[in-house]
Structures are given as structure tokens and as C-alpha cells.
Amino acid sequence: MKIPVSSIRLPTRPGREYESRFDREQSMLKMLAIPIASVILASMVTTLPIFSAGPLLPPFGLLMFLSWRLMRPGLLPIWSGVPFGLMDDLFSGQPFGSAGLLWSLAMLIVELIDSRAIWRDYLQDWLIAALLIAAVLLGGWWIAGLAHATPAPEILFPQILLAILLYPLVVRICARLDSWRLAT
Amino acid sequence: MAPPPHRRPGFSRKAQYGLFVTYVVAIAGTIVAALLLTISVVDPAGFSALRTFGTEITAPVARVVSNAQRSSQAATHTVSAYIDAASKNVMLEKELKANRSALIEARALRVENARLRGLLKITDGEAQQVAVGRLISSTASSTRRIATLSIGRNFGVERAQPVRGPAGLIGRVIETGPTTARVLLVTDSENLVPVMRASDGLPAFSSGLGNGLVLIKPLNLGESPFKVGDIIITSGNGGLYGANIPFARVIRKTSEGALGLPFADPANTPYAVVMRPYLVEARAAQQAVAPDGETKEVAE
């Protein structure tokens, strides 16, 4: 079945549907602010009144960060793991600098993978994200163990599993934000 | 999606250098983060100003959401109270009659206790209340178990003050901000609480397991003396946590002690009371020798 061209909906800014569609430009502010704000807000989720017996809440900041990186390569600069990670450390309760280091290493690893692989599909993205999520959470556990007494690593497994299963949802949120970001 | 071909930016020197600089910045940033991490591992209380800033700016939202949660919980509770109201009423009246005589006996015992203490000239540290707040958030994604309290220095909350709820001990204050404070929960692995069994005063130590439970180890070596259902209360040793605060119920016996479920559930506690340390002088003397957070537990 042929899809008529008129049924394809181009993302448009609300209130501009009836204006000319020629020669429009995206808002520079939105282009920059949406990825940054979405990662920081996702990091701030831990400050909502959510109480869990153990570490169970998925690291939404990390999920959002990885989604942007894997979905839009080249959008976030290579060094962006450091500022986003340090921001996440303010809210996560981990020793300060832990996410700064781990997110930056994750970013460099994705960069390495990108320089080897020609093309990634969605399942490969998910696999890369799953491995990085597990590595960052276990790394965070190890780092917390350097400074404080920590429980056995088994208590992280439910959180790791939950985070991996939630990654597709976060990618979809990210894609919606991206189409809003690029809407003219 | 394929990565954009930015690795070979053509013959433009500017573009080549620009690409090189991003790699340099990335590696340098990683090293800086590692240095920051080293500092915060060596001095865990450092950077507390930054964390406090983060908590302070997000606290208003947490307060509003927490209020909304609380009122919706209250509404559900009010509605559910109407279900089976008559049979509940009969049951409660029965319980009330049974409890009334126990209460009178307890009052008599209290008077007798005070008289005997007066005879022996025992003066106990009176656990005094500093302020009452609420828990507004917790580190739900980290292995550390820390909650945020809705009050801070503005209500006289200071570091190393115990916090309890109506059901039992919650933890102790580890960082304070202008209007918020961070509380190390009893379920954190780093929080050691001197406790005893309520029935016979068997002394023990409790340490958190990080999964909502606490491990209770008796001071005496040998077979674990605990039984499922034992009530554990704080003993007041060490001078920080007051004596006789309800602490946990034993839910499983282990080879070296018992697993306990704390009475105070941070998710479900309507308010949190910040108390003064139980025995201030003893505590000060102990802090002079081995301050909190600076003396490391030696790993076994």
C-alpha cells in the first residue's frame, strides 16, 4: 500500500502549523537545551520522594545519557561524560566524582566501538547499553566500597536487570524529545 | 544509526585540530574526575557543600510531591477505614479492655522504677528532642542508604544526631544544609547500632545489609541465641542512640546472628524526630579519641 505523502506528519512547532513551511530554522536554544536538560532532570529523579529498601531505582540519568549518545552519535561531545557525571553525583549519594569517571569511561568506550563498527542497529545499541549499565553500576558499587562499608554486590542485580529492561523506554522518550528538538 | 564520518574531517587543519582537542579534553576530564574521586574517597565528608547545594535546590519539588503523596495516602486510609467498620470496632474494643489493665501495670512499674532509680542515684542521659521533620527523599539508586530530611540547620539539626520515627530508630544525621539534612539510615552497611534483645537485654550489634534488612550480631561468641520474632531495641551504649528505642524484629536466624527487619520504614514514616545524642559527655570523650568518619573499621 502506498502511503500518500500528505499523510506524513512533519514535526512542527505548535502554533506554526498554518505558517509557511519554507525556510524555517530550528531554535538554537532548543537544539542545545533539550539534551542537556533531559539528562540532568533524569539524574534528579532520585530526589523525588521514592523510598526503596535497597538500590532498586534504575539510574535514569545514565540511561538518558547513553540513549542520547547511542541514538544520536556526534551530538554529545566526547568529554560530556565528565560534566553530566559530576552533576549526577550531586544527587545520587555516591562519592563525588564516581559517575564523573565512570560515565566518561563509558563515553570513551562507545567512541571506541563507533570507530571499529561501521553500522549499529537497535539490538546492538541495546547490548552496548546493557553492558555499560552493568559495568557502571558495578563500578559505582566498587567505588562506594573504597570510601564506605558496602553490601554484597548481589543486591545490585535487580537494579541492573530493571535498568536494562527500561533502556528501550528511555530511548523512545529520547526519540520523542529529539523530534521535538528538531521541529521547526 | 551509523556514526557520522567526523573522524576524517578532510584537509582542514582547523577541523583536524578541533577533533584532536575534543579527545584531549575527554581524557583530561576523565583524569580530573578520577582525582576528584580520590579526594572524596580519602575525605568522605568533603564536597558535602556541593551535595547540600544539590539537595537544597531540589528539596522544594520533593516537599510538594511528598505532601501530595501523604495526603493521597491519608485519603485512602480514611476510605479503607470504613470497610468492615463494625467488626473492626468490636475487635478493637476487646483489645482496648485487655490493654487497659496492662497499661495500669506499666504505669505502676514506671513509678516504682523511678523510685528505685532515685534510691540508687542513677541519672540517665535524657534523650531530648531537637526538631521534628519528614523524610522527603532517599538515594534509591545507590548502594548507600541515605535519606533527605526536610529540616536542617534552621531547626538546629547538627551532624551526628540520632533520628527516630514513631515506629523506631531511623538513623543518624551525617550532613546538614540550611533547610535540609542527610540521614544515614540504619540499613546502610556503615551504620553500626548497639542494640539488645528486649526480653533479656542480650547485647548485640546491628549493621545494615543495604537491602532493607539489618544483620544483628551478638557480642558473645557461640551459637546464635536469637529466635524468629525476637524484638530488638537500642541499648544506649556508645552514647549516640538513646536507650530503649524500638529497633527491629528478627525474621531469620543465621549462623552468626540474625536478620532483622527495622520497625521504622523510611517510606512509610509520617514524621522523623531529630534527637540530641544520648550521653553528650561520654560521646564527646569518645569522639575526641576516635571521631566518626575518620576512624576506619578494619576489614576482617
Q: Answer whether B139 touches A (CB < 8 Å).
A: yes
pLDDT at A126: 93
Residues 6+ apart with CB under 8 A from B104: none
In DSSP notation, B235-246 reads --GGGSSPTT-E
Q: Answer whether A56 touches B (CB < 8 Å).
A: yes
Q: How many of the other CB atoms lie within 10 Å of CB of B49?
A: 10
- For residue A179, the Cα-to-chain-centroid distance in whole angstroms is 16
Q: Which of B205, B290, B244, B219 has the alpha carbon at shortest distance from B125?
A: B244
Q: What is the pLDDT of residues A145-159, one digit of tens each?
A: 888 878 888 888 999
pLDDT at B140: 83
- Given a cut of 70, the residues of chain B with pLDDT beneath it are 1-9, 122-127, 292-300
Q: Nearest 5 degrees, angle CA A53-CA A55-CA A56?
A: 90
pLDDT at B224: 82
Task: Using an 8 Å CB-CB cutoff, list chain B residues near A105.
Answer: 30
Residue A139 has pLDDT above 90, yes or no: yes
Q: Select from B36, B69, B141 the Cβ nearest to the Cβ of A49.
A: B69
Give me the torsion for CA of B102, B105, B107, B109, rounded to 10°: -130
Q: What is the pLDDT of residues A91-124, one digit of tens each?
A: 888 888 999 999 999 999 998 888 887 778 889 9
Contact A90 B38 (CB under 8 A): no
pLDDT at B16: 82
3-state secondary structure of A161: helix
Range with the poorest average pLDDT among A28-42, A72-86, B58-72: B58-72
What does the alpha-carbon distance between residue B151 and residue B133 come to, in Å, rounded to a whole number?
6
What does the alpha-carbon distance between residue A111 and residue A114 come to, in Å, rounded to a whole number?
5
Q: Which of B201, B210, B198 has the alpha carbon at shortest distance from B139?
A: B210
pLDDT at B119: 85
pLDDT at A9: 57
pLDDT at B52: 85
pTM of the model: 0.82
Range with the poorest average pLDDT among A18-22, A135-139, B70-74: A18-22
Q: How far apart are the first and last CA of chain B?
A: 50
Q: Answer whether B54 touches A (CB < 8 Å).
A: yes
pLDDT at B250: 93
The residue of A90, A138, A142, A171 whose CB has the most chain B CBs within 10 angstroms, and thus the best one to mutate to test that interface, is A90
pLDDT at B69: 84
Q: Are A171 and B1 in contact (CB under 8 A)?
A: no
Q: Answer whether A38 touches B (CB < 8 Å).
A: no
Task: Using an 8 Å CB-CB cutoff, list chain A residues near B54.
Answer: 47, 90-91
What does the alpha-carbon distance between residue B268 and residue B171 come to, in Å, rounded to a whole number?
15
Residues 121-180 of A with CB under 8 A from B: 140-141, 143-144, 146-151, 155-156, 159
Q: What DSSP element (H or E) covers A174?
A: helix A157-182
Measured in angstroms, the CA of B33 and the nearest CA of chain A are apart by 5
Please tell me whether the interface predicted TM-score (ipTM) of this complex is above 0.85.
Answer: no
C-alpha cell of A152? 554484597
Residues 81-120 of B with CB under 8 A from A: none
Domain positions in chain B: 88-123, 131-289
Q: Are B234 and B200 in contact (CB under 8 A)?
A: no
How does the average pLDDT of chain A come out, rounded?
A: 86
pLDDT at A1: 47
CATH topology for B131-289 is Thrombin, subunit H (2.40.10)
Contact B37 A82 (CB under 8 A): no
Residue A168 has pLDDT above 90, yes or no: yes
